[in-house]
Amino acid sequence: MKTIYFDNAATTQMRNEVITSMTKIMQNDYGNPSSSHSFGRSSKSLIEQSRKTIANSLNVSAGEIVFTSGGTEADNLVIKSAVKDLKVTHIITSKIEHHAVLHTVQELETEHEVLVSYVNVNQNGDIDYSHLERLLQTEDKTLVSLMHINNEIGNILDIKRVAELCKSNKALFHSDAVQSVGHYKLDLQDIQVDFLAAAAHKFHGPKGVGFAFIRKNSGLRPIIIGGEQERGLRAGTESVHNIVGAEDALKHANNNLESEYSYIKDLKAYFIKTLKTNMPSVTFNGNSADLDKSTYTLINVCLPIPPKKAAMLLFQLDLKGIACSKGSACQSGSSQKSHVLSEILNEEDLEKPSIRFSFSIYNTKEEVDYVIDVLKEFVEQ
């Protein structure tokens, strides 16, 4: 059976070069980085080289990169510590954030009586910047947490504009950049974000590793206690092979950024054009079909299918060897509607099936043709 992977927003295939470098580390550099002997020092050196490489790619200092188990932990570290240790009493976010942010904020609202404000989102899924500016007019110590690229509809936040708004209003700014690091060039000297989260498995690296950018002298403290690893900000023996894998994946992503951007964007444009030609009644959620206002890596498609038939769509696609998603992979298995789409779609469109297709350099136009043929057959049968 033909198999096609169009779920790259959930996770990506690892590059062969990354697998090779990680295998070499696992075979040869197995010392505990906290040990003082040569085996430990060798592992520690690899971690610090990876830290430096990643920091250079973001134009920050190595001491501002803290390795974590992924984006979720990085989000939790920043948001929880901001409340506990930086005495933040007001959090501004949106209702279309990843649950790593939303659920953390909701917990802090309940347990620490933090005031939570949700910035308005229009029907395309864009943030209302004027409303954000009004919400920032407060004497409370405030943290703004808004994702750079939405993982379901692909909308791109004007992250520099938000950073400037926060700075002028003396608020801290955290951004979940899990869908953008490795896909876009970010200069964090130009973009004055205070905190940022990333995950290696979104840019063809290993799962189980990511990092937080924490601007120097932030005052953040660890939420995982037990050792002085990661400059005291994240206890636990570092996963050396995963960290080197993250570094290697990011190096390859940045070195090939322009060519891969062009290839994948062209693939997305081809998908949109071909789908519209074959199914004129199809619609696209958020800005996902706008090549200028959304990430080049995904689209979110609303199909003209009645609810009863829609229930079988993902199952039928899977039977045909097609991997895609109805939303975030973190919600897989849930019968609840997407919280993102619930904010931007009317009730009629919410009853129709919405599917996220997300692309990588390993996809082809031939695969697009096959997927659209399968979709058309299902809709028309």
Is residue 76 within 8 Å of residue 101, measured between CB atoms?
no
> Among this protein's residues, is 166 annotated catalytic?
no
**Residue written as tokens 């404000």?**
117
Angstrom distance (rounded) from CA 35 to CA 45: 12
With both helix axes pointing from N to C terminus, report the angle between 99-111 and 71-84 in degrees, rounded to the nearest 10: 20
Q: In terms of DSSP H, where are the helices of the chain? A: 16-28, 38-58, 71-84, 99-111, 129-135, 159-168, 240-255, 257-278, 307-310, 313-319, 339-344, 347-350, 365-380
Angstrom distance (rounded) from CA 123 to CA 137: 25
- The two tokens of residue 88 are 């933040």
* Nearest in space to 372 (alpha carbons), one of 351, 348, 355, 352: 355
Amino acid letter for position 88: V
3-class secondary-structure state, position 151: coil
Residues counted in the chain:
381
How far out from the chain centre does Cα 63 lie? 23
Amino acid letter for position 79: I
Give catalytic residue positions.
330
